[in-house]
Structures are given as C-alpha cells and as structure tokens.
Chains A and B, each alone.
Chain A
C-alpha cells in the first residue's frame, strides 16, 4: 500500500485568511488552532496551499476549457447521478464497500481531470490517486502531462522520480528528483527520495551533499539526519554516521532506524557492547504484526478521502465551491473519521453562506477529535455569527474550561459579549485575562473597548494607551484613544 506523504494528506489547504470575511477569518484561525495532537497546518511552509502554487506558476486558462460535465459520483444502485442532497451523509453517498468507493472516487478524479486538463494540480491530484490504486502507468502519464503544461511543476518531477525509483531506473530517478528539488528547494519528500535514488545509484557522496544541504536549511529534521547517517554509513564514514544518527536521536529519540544505524556504525567502530544496546532497543520498537483487516480498510478509506479532498481543492481553485463540496461530501461520508475533508467543508459551507451545515460538520469534527479545541472554537464562532448566543457561549466556555491557560477562549467570550451585548461586566474580567495571558496591542484595545462599553472611561483610556504604545503605527488605536479622551473631556 502506498504511504501517504505529508503533502498528500491534504496540507495544500485552500485556507488563506487574506481573502476571508472577518468572521471566516476567526473560523479559519480556530480551525488551525490545534489544541490536541494534530499539528497546526503550516500555511506558510513548504506545503504551500494550492492557491499559492497557482500564483507562482502560470494559471491554466480555465475559461478556455470545455464545459465541465455534471459530476456523476453517486453509486450505480442509487441511480441519482449529479446533484447531491443538501446535507448530511445521505445513503446515496456511501459506497457499499471499498471497491464501490474506489469506483466512485475514480469517476470523481477522472471527471476533475477532464475538466481541467491543462491544470497541473488536476494532473497531480489524478496522478497521486492512480498511484495509490496501483495504476502507475496512468500516474506517470499525468505527471508527464503536468510537466508539459508547466515545466517547473515540482510535484510532477517528484512523482516521476518516485516511479523511476520504484522501477529501479536510478539514473532517471536522480534526474527527475533533481528537477523536483530545483523547483521545490527544501522539499523534504523530494530531497529524501533524491538521496535514496543517489544511494541506489551508488553515489553516496552526492547523497551526503544533498542531505547536508537540506540540514543547512532545516537543521531540526530527525529523518534527514537519519538518512545522512545512512549515507555516511554506506560511504564507510563510521564516525560521521555515528554523529548524524546521534543528532537524529536527540531530535527523535524513538526513531528506530537511527537507533539501528547507530548500532551498525558502532559495530564498525569496534564498540560492540555499546552497539548492542541500541540494536536491542530498536528491535523491540518495531511492530511484529500487521494491522487488523478492519483497520487496514479504514486506512484505505482514509487514503481515498485524502485524495478526494485533494481533488476538491482543485475544484476550489477553479472557483467551483459547489463541486468541491460535492466531492468533499463523498470523502467525508465514506470516511467517518476523516478530518481534512470536513475542515474544508466547514470553510466552504461558510463561503457559500450555509452556516448551519458548517456548524453540523464542525460538530462532527469535535466528535472525531474532542481534544482539538479549534473545532469548538469554530462552532462557537459560526454560532456567534448566527446569533446563536447559547451555542457560542457553550463552545467558548468549553475551551476556557479545558485550556484555562490559553487566551483564545477568553478572547472569544469577550467577542461574544461585545457582539451580543450580554455579560458586559464579565467581559471586562475576561478581556483583562487575555491581556495577562497574551497581551498584544489588539488585546489591550479589546480590553479598553469592554471598559468603555461599561462606562469605565479612565480605565479604558489607560488600556488604549497601552495598545497604542504596543502598536504605535496603528492609526485606529490612536483614533479610538482620541475619541475616548474626547468623551472623557466632554463628561
């Protein structure tokens, strides 16, 4: 089964706070506010969103494309192709089994690629899907086509490199992956695959160079250091290998490949007893059994959901949020625990002004990942916009209660009080807490606002002075301060 790379797992989220409405901005921040185990998406990192990619590379002539056919993604049995029900995981969206789901997904991905044949992102989405289901010839053709459209499309070069690597065409893999690294400098997957290809080509010295360059860019990567150790080991630089493995283990103590590599290096340095310790430790860390069939099938569903989410992003990029939503609903309906598709759905339902649906999906997310308080924040924020004060209050209170040392929950409750005009006295206390926990200029401004709304002008002026002091460039703060002082003078 194909491993899903970091990028594959829908990290190219079309989430940009620059073009979102104020409320949506809060929702976006909330979605990204990972209080649980999930990492906060790196919107500015190497896994740039599709939108950013498009801006960097010539956008396809969407208007000149053939008219998109209707999506026909419902299973055969339903007979209901095309438009999907308004909300929820209708039975018609749910595949009978994994084969049925694969058939649905294939239709979606093929349909998407037909609509945007000159969009390299569409080709990329299709290629990764087909690679996952084992049709590597189709994947390869998609990547070749993507490069024909945009020669510097790094993902396609990386895809071709990975196929060449798999086919033991090490020279071809090196060529493609060097192109990928050239167009995506610092991309971890491409660099790691390039080093692998170089090693297999028998060029461990160049693999070392490539990995050392990567470490210069991202010195805190345990995986890269582990690969560096491996390359040095192949190059019979046992001291260097030992050093790299040790540094890797400082960053990731449980990396069993680093433990094994360190053991191997130590054996070759004549330190057999020390080596034994690492070798035994790494062995015990390795799994000895396959995942249960049901778990494996769930993983496959998750893989398909991730690829569909990717396809949805392509629709979104082409400003077809309705079609994106249709695809996402298939993904979500067939993978009850998939978060990425649902996260994007929340965003899109807000964009198409369907806040109730957005809240429903956000509630699903909160159920899937109860520790991710960002989902609670999202529910609260959308409820706030809907003037559902009780739900908003409940959500924000949950966040405050769960993580009292984080300012976001308090700030949201303050926002709620300001918008609803309720509990204004309490809002002062909460806003003050925010200034203590975070203390940005905006926090002091909000604190000042609550004080002013409660008629405590001197305190409000004091707070606004701090805000202005913290952000002396802000004309807004200055203006508010002047107004407050004027009001006080009037009094």
Chain B
C-alpha cells in the first residue's frame, strides 16, 4: 500500500513535468491559468502549517500553553524581515526549543 502510493505519486509528479515540458507552452497558456498556478504555494502550504501549529495530537484546537504558536510568530516575523529560508527555520526552531526547555 505504501509502495503503491510512492510509485503512483512519483509517476504523477514526473508526468506533471514531462507532459508540460513536452506539450505545453506558457506562451500559449491562458494568463489566468498561469496566475492561478502561482498561487499554489500560498493555497496549499497553510493547510499543512496551521494544523501543525494550532492542533494537538488528538486534533483538537490548543491555544493555551502552546509554544508552537509563539515560535511560529517569531518565524514569520523573521521570514518577513529577512526573506531567508534558513534563518526562518533555525530561529523558529531555536525559539521553540527555548520555550519547551527553559
């Protein structure tokens, strides 16, 4: 089951790139389609970020005593200020560790 999933996802990811590289052409693509695709990260990633921060292991909302919220706020601020992927990850993680260990 896991292996089927890996192989099918791999084939789909490959085909996404192979078919568009071979048969599509952005100069012939509708500008609206191009625009929508540029929103994919902003539309998809928050659906992974928010539950990872605000929900506990049982899937219920956890707003009190949740160090992940403050660490994430710090990470977002660093991200906005520096636009640096590494700095965002490391400072966010350092903040999280400070909060849970101190």
Are chains A and B native binding partners rather than an unrelated pairing?
no
